[in-house]
Each structure stands twice: as structure tokens, then as C-alpha cells.
Amino acid sequence: MKFDICNLIPEISNGFYFKCKMCGRCCKGKDEGYVFLFKDDIKKISNFLNISLEKFLENYVEVIESTFRLFNPKLLKYKNKIFILKALVLKQNEETGVCIFLDNNNKCQIYEYRPHQCKTWPTWYNNLVKLEHFKNSKNKCIGFNINEFDIDEEEKEKYFISKEKIYQTIKEEMEIEVEYIKRMKKYNQDFKKVFPYLKNVNYSFKIKYYNTNKK
Ligand code: SF4
Ligand code: SF4
């Protein structure tokens, strides 16, 4: 696959094995940050829960202000590559940072329908192009502790993330983010226009957390 958007760190540049052990570690803790909701995440999860968009927004979503850093200038012609924008995120416990969808057994209650951001872990751009971030992720997430010599052929295929898959996921992540930034700028951060399926929701979006990291 021709792909020149990023250089992967050598440790994983030929792909790597990963098996989520469903420990729930990455779904809680203030330092894990927020789960952003992009594209059709909101529609997909509210459908699964069989509740209206209004109810979903009211019960599970909050608005924060966040810094978006574009790592590839080729993708966007704006001069400024850092954007401070509002974002829709999943609610979490204010003190512990536990995601609203994590149950007492550390299981995600919407696993099959979890947001794109959760689904694409650990193939996030930041994780795979900076050694320091990769090491940090490896230390925190036991999903990386998988030895190819301890698993059978079927598992090898299932748990191997190929170079092509990594590039594909990173490319998708970039496209989603760029599209979001473009639409937020175009529609003056009006979520009802940015996400057309929210056009008729009877809900007012109020920002809850302001960005403290604007550099
Ligand atoms: S920390 Fe790693 S192993 Fe645990 S739930 Fe998250 S992705 Fe899976
Ligand atoms: S939506 Fe599910 S996978 Fe994502 S952070 Fe919440 S509990 Fe974890």
C-alpha cells in the first residue's frame, strides 16, 4: 500500500500482535482522557440502546473544549494546525474518570457498538509514531503482552495487526479528524449542522469543561 503520511516506529513497522484482555484499565482514570464521539457514533449507540437521540445526549454525552493538533499539514491547507474546538464526549465519573459505559465487572456495556475511538485502539497515530508514547501504552495495557510463540496459527491470524491495517486505521483517524475540524469551522461549531442527523434534536449543547491545555 502506498502511504506517506507517517513513519511508524521500528518496533511495530512490520505489524504487531495485540489481544485485548478486557481488563477495563483504559476505560477509567483521569489520565486516559475523554472518548470523543465522531461521525455516526451517537446514532449507532442510541439505536443500540433503543433510546432517542435527545435521551442519549442528555444521559451519556457532555461537551468539552479540546485542542486538536493536526499532525499532517498535507491534509489541510489551513495555516494554523492547532484548533481549539468544542467536542462531544462520553460522560465519565468526575472524580474517578470511569467511563459511563463501564460496568462493575470492568466490562463495556456497549462493546459491539463502542465509539470508533475505542474500537481502533491501539492503532492510534500518536501511539505508533512516537517511541515514548508506544512504551507508555505498552506499560499500561496488557493487550500488548502476547507472545507469538505461545499462540496457535488461528490466534496468530486473529491477533496480528498488519502494517497495512495500521496504515489504514491511521488514515481513517486522520480523515475523520480533518472532516470534523472542517465542518466545525464551516458551521461555526453548531453540532446540529456538523452532525446532520442531530438537525432536529430538541437539545441544547452546553459546554461543561473548558480546555486547560491550549498550547
Ligand atoms: S487496557 Fe488494554 S487489555 Fe485492558 S481493556 Fe484496555 S485495551 Fe484491553
Ligand atoms: S465506551 Fe466502552 S470501550 Fe469505550 S471507554 Fe467506555 S467502557 Fe471503555
CB distance 35 to ligand 2 below 6 Å = yes
Residues 6+ apart with CB under 8 A from 198: 42, 53, 191, 192
The stretches of 116-162 forming alpha helices (DSSP H) are: 116-119, 125-129, 131-140, 153-159
Residues 6+ apart with CB under 8 A from 107: 22, 24
Rounded average pLDDT over 139-167: 87
CA of 2 to the centre of ligand 2 (A): 32
Q: What percent of the chain has pLDDT over 70?
A: 91
The 3-state DSSP class for residue 87 equals strand
Atom of ligand 1 nearest to the CA of 19: 3
How many whole angstroms separate alpha carbon 130 and alpha carbon 120? 17
pLDDT at position 90 is 97
DSSP string, 13-68: TT-EE-------GGGSSGGG---B--TTHHHHHHHHHT--HHHHHHHHEEEEEEEE
Residue nearest to atom 4 of ligand 1 (CA): 23
* C-beta of residue 89 within 8 angstroms of C-beta of residue 36: yes
Mean pLDDT score of the chain, rounded to an integer? Answer: 88
Up-side HSE of residue 136: CA atoms within 13 Å toward CB?
11
Q: What is the pLDDT of residues 10-53, one digit of tens each?
A: 888 889 999 999 899 999 977 888 999 999 999 999 999 999 99
Atom of ligand 2 nearest to the CA of 32: 5
CB distance 118 to ligand 2 below 6 Å = yes
pLDDT at position 214 is 56
Given a cut of 50, is residue 1 above it in pLDDT? no
Atom of ligand 1 nearest to the CA of 24: 5
pLDDT at position 113 is 97
Nearest to 180 by CA among 107, 116, 94: 116
Residues 6+ apart with CB under 8 A from 154: none
Given a cut of 80, is residue 6 above it in pLDDT? no
Q: Which residue among 28, 90, 105, 116 is best mutated to probe the pocket of ligand 2, counting the most ligand atoms within 8 A of its Cβ?
A: 90
Rounded average pLDDT over 104-128: 93
The 3-state DSSP class for residue 83 equals strand
Neighbours of 89 (CB within 10 A): 22
